[in-house]
Amino acid sequence: MEKTYTINMLKTFEECPQKYKFMYVDNLRFPEQKNRQTDTGVKIHTLINYYLNGKDVTNMVLQLDKHEKLLWHNFINSPVLKYHFLESEYTFDVKFGTGRLTGRIDALFETDGEYVIVDWKTGEISDENERFQTMFYLCALYEVYKQKNLPVAYESFSLKYVLLNTNTNIRIPFSEELFMQYKNKILSLVEKIETGENYFCYKTEKCKKCRYLKYCPYL
């Protein structure tokens, strides 16, 4: 049976194989800690999804606080909305190597023959997060189109982070070279997960803030 991988699974394994074991092998999970930033992100993403699918969100927008209204204002005025809208909350499940990649893309647009994966960001974005999402989403979407026998070039895809907090965008282009680089990275992680028996810990500064610190046999 093919095993399915999400972006969080691969990101967790690269960060710390032992943490991956706790979460996805031992199924040791903790309730998600909600905070204001998380609540804001969920609220704005929900509004955007409703709006893109033609629902009237006027009353919901009126209930936003000052900061949330700024995020909404930046969304409404984003150049991305001038693109041809294809789908919001796009879910994929595609064969990749010996396993499958699954996930959900915030939105998918098309402009001048280019398919643009859009990821709405209401907070800051880290280089690590950007790298993983870029690698995962671009490879997965390309494979989705390829396996549907749709004639698309690598350069027909790109990913755009829309940073609503700062009203800026980050565009990540795609190419065959990047596809091979990203693909090899993903397949390497998958192989290590499927063949590895030693879920070691890298013992970094991040360990001090890890929820599994007291359970880790390496610390």
pLDDT in tens, the chain (219 residues): 789 999 999 999 999 999 999 999 999 987 766 666 678 989 999 999 999 999 999 999 999 999 999 999 999 999 999 999 999 999 999 999 888 999 999 999 999 989 999 999 998 877 776 778 889 999 999 999 999 888 789 999 999 999 999 999 999 999 999 999 999 999 999 999 988 778 899 998 889 989 999 999 988
The pLDDT value given to residue 55: 96
The pLDDT value given to residue 98: 86
Q: What separation in angstroms does the CA of 16 have from each of 21, 86, 100, 138, 193?
A: 9, 36, 21, 24, 11
Neighbouring C-beta atoms of residue 200, cutoff 10 Å? 12
Burial class (CB in 10 A: 0-12, 13-18, 19+), 92: middle
The pLDDT value given to residue 149: 86
pTM across the whole model: 0.89
Which of 108, 141, 145, 197 lies closest to 7, judged by CA?
141
Number of residues in the chain: 219
* Residue that is written with structure tokens 């969080």 in the block: 8
Q: What CATH number is given for 4-195+207-215 in this structure?
A: 3.90.320.10
**Separation of alpha carbons 117 and 106, rounded Å:** 8
The pLDDT value given to residue 196: 77
